[in-house]
Amino acid sequence: MFFYKQLTQDLIMHPSYFNQSLRGHLTNELRRQVEGTCSGRLGYIVAVVLEEMDSSGSHRGRIMEDGQAVFSIKYRAVVYRPFRNEVVDGVVSSVNKMGIFVDVGPLQCFISTHLVPPDFSFDPNSNPPCFSSSEDTLTIQKGTKIRLKIVGTRIDATEIFAIGTIKEDYLGPLG
């Protein structure tokens, strides 16, 4: 699920950036440090949205002993955090006899063979390896778009892991 969160980040800037384009340097550095990262309690930071920095404080820095300055920047971010029982769409990144790995945006989700419908079986002789239905009408292989339900998550400090299923109605290969 996507959220819009108010966050704060401290940025250290070298004195060579203290000029007319300081705001631009702060914006670029904030995006470089924050976008695409994962915080266990927040989730994946997808995008940084900056309102105009005001002169009352958000871009005023504290000078440190070595001449660099620390700027405390308040910003808003679009954050993605997966939840149990959330239904999501993704793209299969790999298939093996143990199950299916699916990329759901920045999140990688694993679907065990026990959570795949019984009419799908693993075909190790096909190229690329895939799960195919008993009627051979549907296949799940690398690049297949798939709808899955998240049944569990594990949150670490810098990464989120998920387990999914396609064993319920309206889940499985799309299109």
CATH number at residue 7: 3.30.1490.120
Residue 58 confidence (pLDDT) above 80 = no
Q: State pLDDT tens for residues 101-116.
A: 999 999 999 999 999 9
Nearest to 37, CA basis, from 138, 101, 106, 127: 106
Residues whose CB is less than 8 angstroms from the CB of residue 66 and which lie 6 or more positions away in sequence, other chains included: none
35 vs 48: CA distance, rounded Å: 6
Please give the residue range of the domain that contains residue 47.
Answer: 2-80
95 lies in the same domain as 119: yes
Residue 56 confidence (pLDDT) above 70 = no
76 lies in the same domain as 107: no
44 lies in the same domain as 101: no
Q: State pLDDT tens for residues 73-107.
A: 899 999 999 999 999 999 999 999 999 999 999 99
